[in-house]
Amino acid sequence: MSLPDRPRAVVTGAGGGLGRALSLELARRRGRVLAADIDLAAAELTAAAVRDAGGEAVAVACDVAQLAQVERLVEEAGSAFGGADLIINNAGVAVSGPVAEIPMADWDWIVGINLMGVVHGCRAFIPHFKARGGGAILNVASAAGLLCTPQMAPYNVTKAGVVALSETLCAELQADKISVTVLCPTFFQTNIVQATRTQDPGQRHVAEKLMARAKVQAPDVARHALNSVDIGELFSLPHSDGSWLWRLKRLAPERFYQTLLPRFFRRISERQG
């Protein structure tokens, strides 16, 4: 569905990075934003920025790994704005390193936030959207959910799960007039590096350099994502490199994983020192 004028949106992970950029893009549309984040102070800063930009906003604390806290967002949106037109499941973290070396506690942590957090958001808001006759879901995944890069298994697995969930819901919810979009960006500057658990600090350095060099940054990604929601696109790929790599993978999947992708990331690491 196309978003209405002055859309009412719930944004998780709204305290910074892409979550804040999405909230500010909604403010450009004179939107009403429930800015949810595990860090309430950060969510309040985003809410203030939305109000300064011409929108309305309320900040709430929410740990998306806890279903009860996500379910309360439906009530909060109802109290603040009379309901919601859009849920943006954005909260996310990262874990990197070789599969055999990553602690199981890190797997539990990332699955709880990146995957179950999105499941919780969809599960909480779908009944609300059905009751009001429609709505929109924007799930923030990553190109890693389509391409599954080396040394990033927990991140890849959770983001691939978000893609699979979104594909399933797209088919499931057509008759209910609930649109589903999954956002799959590559590198851009965000706070996720600070929320990364890694077995190799050098990987964080490489990621920071790639993020800084990206031509398409958070405000562009946010704009692309909401435009995709407006036109009912299932896949939103704001970066050309991710789009081309995804096409290449589909053309020759075995060669892609056995030869091309390892070579590609080896060259990137070498260039970044």
Which residues are catalytic, by number?
A: 155
What are the respective helix, strand and coil percentages of the chain, to the nearest 5? 60, 15, 25
**221: exposed, middle or buried (Cβ count in 10 Å: 0-12, 13-18, 19+):** buried
187 HSE (CA, 13 A, CB side): 16
- CB 28, CB 104: distance < 8 Å: no
CA gap 246, 240 in Å, rounded: 10
CA gap 37, 10 in Å, rounded: 11
Residues 142, 223, 20: CA angle, nearest 5 degrees = 75
CA gap 162, 183 in Å, rounded: 10
256 HSE (CA, 13 A, CB side): 14
Report the helix count and the strand count for the chain, using DSSP H and E: 12, 9
